[in-house]
A and B are shown apart, each in its own frame.
Chain A
Amino acid sequence: MNAIASLVVFASCLLATGAQAASPLKLWHAYRGAEEQALEKSTKLFERETGRAVELLALPYDAFAAKLIAAIPHGVGPDVFIFAHERVRQFARMGIVDPVDGAIDRRAYFPNTVDALVVDGKMYGYPLSLKCIALYVNSRLVSRIPETTDEWRAMLARMSSPKENRFGLAYESGDFYFHAPFLFGFKGALFDESGRAIFDTPEMAVSLAFVKRLQDERLIPEEASGALVKTLFNDGRAAMVISGPWFSGEIAKSVPFAVFPLPRVSETGLPMRPFLGVEAALVSARSTDREAARKLAKFLSTGEASVVRAVSAGHVPADRAAYDHRAVREDKLVAAFRRAAENALPMPNTLEMARVWEPMKLALQGALKGGVPPSGAGALADRRYRALYRPKPERASGVPYVVLAGLAAALGLYRARREVLSPELFSKRYPDAARAARYVAPAAAGIFVLVFIPFVYGAGLSFFHHDSGLYTFVGLGNFVDILASRGYRINEPLSFYFTLAVTMLWTAANVVLHVVIGLSLALILRDPLLKLKGFYRVVLIVPWAVPNYITALIWKGMFHRQFGAVNGLLQALHLEPISWFTQFSTAFAANLVTNTWLGFPFMMVVCLGALQSIPAELYEAAEVDGATSWQKFRNITLPLLRPTLLPAVILGSVWTFNMFNIIYLVSGGEPGGATDILVSESYRWAFQRNEQYGFAAAYSVLIFLVLLTWSSFTKRLTRGAQDASS
């Protein structure tokens, strides 16, 4: 026991990297490339000036907010972090940012940047830069800047050539951030008078139709990701790009470019108005040295840091004094974006704004890829909006639940009483109990703390509603909402039953393919006379050795509409390339292919082992009896494989049922959440839809219950198999 304890202590000493003395200030951000370098330069300046060290941590943009929300309340977050203003209200409500009022001179910044950071009269954070998107043009390919959309479209048509994979314009058309300028240019609005988001408007339909036409005429690429846009522009295969200042750092040195405001919409005469974002340095409410943290945030937002940011990363500083510097005043990029920002529409920092993204993503995908007419896409978004932002369930009284739990505990104690009360009987019945306890204790302790408690905690969470750090007890409210499929039709993605059906189809299809492929290969490889057997076996288990998130990303790349190897193969066979993630069937197939590739080696190895354990005499006996190969397989191999195969199949089905990585990374639930399985759905509720932890936990509990039912059903199967084999 001592050995165990000291081992644990030793291990944790070895591995723990706790807080250091006179700790450096922690600054988190999601910058990359030139922006990251500019930030590093500024913090170096700060260190030199104050002597206080700063530790930077760059995080992936899509994980940044979730990480902040998790880390800061637990006291392991940064002192200062850089974030766009649109989440400030949420952060303030969660109490993870500190107001900065006393220490700031509001007049030093552009007023709109200050306004963006004000929540209920208090200002949170130091504005760093203004961000909006504008039009990048490759100066070598574009000589004239379009003034209106009509003119623009005519230019694009001349510059595009679908055959050569050449496009007049490239931008991330599936992202609402990039679509917003079109919407606003067509006079659209996103919120009604009461402040609620609206989607189903004629302006929305017109703006979507406009973009759809660009795509149909092959003037812009389909399914463009940031990486694709960058590649196309750098390769000279996109003459123009809509993007923000960060894009300048991604452009290859050999490509000459210039930046201009977006054109005017011919139909309305209005300029295309992008969202205006304000990036700010926010001080964590849990910073241990708030004084120094404020100093750092202020330092980053003013003076030399602003100049550095402007000059080397193309930021448009919010700090007015920065423009006193010649270098900033004369920087073309800064000037261009400052001009573009004049038309920009400040993005509201309300919760309502945060709720717009997912429905709009669905609308854009529906209209651009999913065959939904542009006029119907708004309604689609509206329905999704209502589904996602369900009203909070009624607050419930905890008393009945506590009473029930108490009764259950009492019953349990009553049943355990006999063993506890008669120690003699106990020691006689279990002579090894003390020794067993010593052996099991370390594992049991670990499982108790890191599996059991989290499970109980998580299950408990499912009785609560979570909103910005506030938990309300709602009893079975979450379950009722899920099971009653409130807010969406039963046969619609996002309905529990739809997702359950998809999950079951997913599990069944995978397990069948794994077993069929694995077993067939094992049967072939079993042949003792087969040459090159070792080679085949080693090659065939390669997929098992590859980390599955890497597998998932590789296959996602291979299924890419324009540049994926799968479409390359189809083209080589003179078939039409497929847009894999726009239809349920093909997206599901893509997931399935990936997971089959990933999973068949396990079954193959299990089958190989199981086949080895079948005595050869049985086959010889069957041969004597004149059995055909099929009869031998049917009457000997299959029944004798059953006891080994069945547990593997059950375990495999449980794993597949919860196979988050593949779904999340390959199809990402596309189209519109249709290929999401229960686990990925639960993940989305927890981390992508306003941190509805309680609702997500209820989903997880339901997953658990489904699997529990499945396992008690299979337990009977296994028992049958064991009886049959013995």
Chain B
Amino acid sequence: MSGRGWIKTAAVHMLLALTCAATLYPVLWVVKMAVSPLESLSLSANPFPQHPTWRNFAAIVGAVDSSGRWLFGRNLLASLAVSTGTTVVGLFLAVTAAYALSRFKFPGKQAGLQALLISQMFPATLMLIPIYAILQRLHLLNSLGGLVLVYSTTSLPFCVWMLKGYFDTIPRDLEEAAVMDGATHWQAFVLVVLPLSRPALAVTALFSFMNAWNEFILAATLLNDATIFTLPVALQRLVGEYKVEWGMFAAGALVVSAPVMALFFALQKHLVGGLTAGGVKG
């Protein structure tokens, strides 16, 4: 390697290392807060904890309510149920709609596609009040089912666009071959198209799950029962405008983020393929 090449490589690694440091710094900061014993805040740039303790985690995970119910467990369960439900329902809705938009000719298709994009432009504040009223009509206020429905429809436009883009890249011949092989259209879709769309499905599922897992404004508005609060809503109590318990919040933030981060990293190799082949190329 020539001298110049060596310098260039070093410079590239320096740059990347700096960027990584900037990326990780806030995360380390949270870890530090989470494991710091008292809620002692002090002006320091050092992101590494001095005297680590698990007290905050214990407090978060061990939270119980007045009648001794294990709130954290229930909240975790609620979060899991909502996120899984959203992923299943959302994926089902998105996959079928995206397939129809990719394959069939029907009146209103172009308009529908446009409408999907446009719906991304509705500010959430416009929707919050009406959604509340609608869920009441459906008797789905204060229920995780209602939350699942809202989440799966609100994340639908993005999912549909991404999946449609991906389906467009799958040759139609394959479904026709399946039909010739004796498959019904539904079988051709399920047995041929879906397995081939695995990267896009993984990414879409990931997004739906993350959306549901992380959302708190709707959840905080629609749920009125501490035992079915999702984790972010439970966490929200720690950061009220008047009292912030940073240590607890940081510990809670880590607990809440850990599962989706794990999921995210497990699926991240699909991200590049699933995202670009689909959603973005549209």
A residues contacting B by CB (< 8 A) are 4, 7-8, 11-12, 14-18, 26, 28, 32, 40, 43-44, 55-63, 66-67, 70-71, 74-78, 165, 172, 225-228, 230-231, 234-235, 250, 419, 426, 429-433, 435-437, 439-440, 442-444, 446-447, 449-451, 453-455, 457-459, 461, 521, 524, 527, 530-532, 536-551, 553-555, 557-558, 560, 562-565, 567-569, 571-572, 577, 597, 605-606, 608-610, 612-613, 643-645, 647-648, 651, 654-655, 658, 660, 678-679, 682-683, 686, 693, 696-697, 699-701, 703-704, 707-708, 711
Contact = CB atoms under 8 A, between A and B. Distances in A.
Contacts of A56: 65-66, 226
B170 interface: no
A305 to B, nearest CB: 15
Interface in B85-121: 85, 88-89, 92-94, 96-97, 99-101, 103-107, 109, 112, 116-121
A15 B139 CA distance: 12
Closest 3 CB pairs of A and B: A609-B276, A700-B126, A443-B97
A11 B145 contact: yes
A454 B150 CA distance: 11
Contacts of A524: 12, 15-16
Interface of A is mostly: helix
B123 A679 contact: yes
A699 to B, nearest CB: 8
Contact of B45 (A226, A433, A568, A700): A568
A696 B226 CA distance: 29
A268 B166 CA distance: 75
Interface string B145-170: 11111101110111010000000000
A57 B225 contact: yes
Nearest to A537: B268
A703 B127 CA distance: 13
Interface string B191-222: 00000000000000000001001101000110
Given A62-B240, A550-B253, A557-B246, A658 B16 contact: no
Contacts of B82: 15
B141 A550 contact: no
27 contacts: A15-B81, A17-B143, A62-B240, A74-B133, A227-B244, A230-B243, A430-B106, A436-B100, A439-B104, A440-B97, A442-B92, A449-B153, A454-B126, A455-B122, A457-B130, A545-B257, A545-B260, A554-B253, A571-B43, A608-B276, A644-B281, A654-B121, A679-B124, A697-B126, A699-B125, A700-B125, A708-B118
Contacts of A440: 96-97, 100-101, 106, 112
Given A436-B100, A549-B232, A679-B125, A442 B220 contact: no
Given A542-B24, A558-B26, A457 B133 contact: yes
Contacts of B123: 658, 660, 678-679, 682, 699-700, 703-704
Interface string B1-37: 0000000000011011001101111110110010000
B124 A565 contact: no
B174 to A, nearest CB: 17
Contact of B145 (A12, A78, A544, A699): A12
A280 B221 CA distance: 23
Contact of B126 (A78, A426, A644, A704): A704
Contact of A450 (B26, B30, B149, B261): B149
A419 B96 CA distance: 25
A538 B268 contact: yes
Interface size class of B (residues with CB under 8 A): 35 or more
B272 A608 contact: yes
B148 A15 contact: yes
A451 B119 contact: yes
Nearest to A649: B280
A58 B236 CA distance: 11
Interface of B: 12-13, 15-16, 19-20, 22-27, 29-30, 33, 38-47, 65-66, 81-82, 85, 88-89, 92-94, 96-97, 99-101, 103-107, 109, 112, 116-134, 136, 138-150, 152-154, 156-158, 160, 185, 210, 213-214, 216, 220-221, 224-226, 228, 232, 236-237, 239-246, 249, 253, 256-257, 260-261, 264-265, 268, 271-273, 275-277, 279-282
Contact of A455 (B27, B29, B119, B257): B119
A61 B220 CA distance: 13
Given A439-B100, A446-B93, A547-B232, A648 B280 contact: yes
Contacts of A32: 237, 243
Given A235-B38, A577-B43, 11 more contacts: A28-B224, A44-B66, A56-B65, A436-B105, A443-B97, A451-B153, A532-B16, A549-B214, A609-B273, A647-B282, A654-B120
B114 to A, nearest CB: 9
A567 B210 CA distance: 32
A550 B257 contact: yes
Which of B16, B81, B136, B216 counts the most chain A CB atoms within 10 A?
B16
B12 to A, nearest CB: 6
Contacts of B256: 547, 550
A301 to B, nearest CB: 19
A77 B222 CA distance: 11
A683 to B, nearest CB: 5
Contacts of B242: 61-62, 172, 225-226
Contacts of B30: 550, 554
Given A450-B150, A605-B272, A439 B281 contact: no
A562 B121 contact: no
B34 to A, nearest CB: 11
A152 B142 CA distance: 51
B2 to A, nearest CB: 14
Contact of A563 (B41, B93, B142, B153): B41
Given A440-B101, A443-B93, A446-B152, A606 B275 contact: yes
B143 A568 contact: no
Nearest to A165: B43
A433 B107 contact: yes
A527 B16 CA distance: 13
A172 B242 CA distance: 9
Contacts of A78: 224
B97 A453 contact: no
A628 B123 CA distance: 46
A458 B129 contact: yes
B81 to A, nearest CB: 6
B276 A459 contact: no
B156 A446 contact: yes
B106 A17 contact: no
A567 B129 contact: no
A609 B279 CA distance: 12
Contacts of B44: 565, 568
Nearest to B221: A70
Nearest to A536: B16
Contacts of B33: 557
Which of A62, A66, A557 counts the most chain B CB atoms within 10 A?
A557
A63 B233 CA distance: 11
Contact of B97 (A76, A444, A527, A701): A444
Contacts of B226: 56-58
A711 B106 contact: no
Contacts of B97: 439-440, 442-444
Contact of B154 (A451, A606, A678): A451
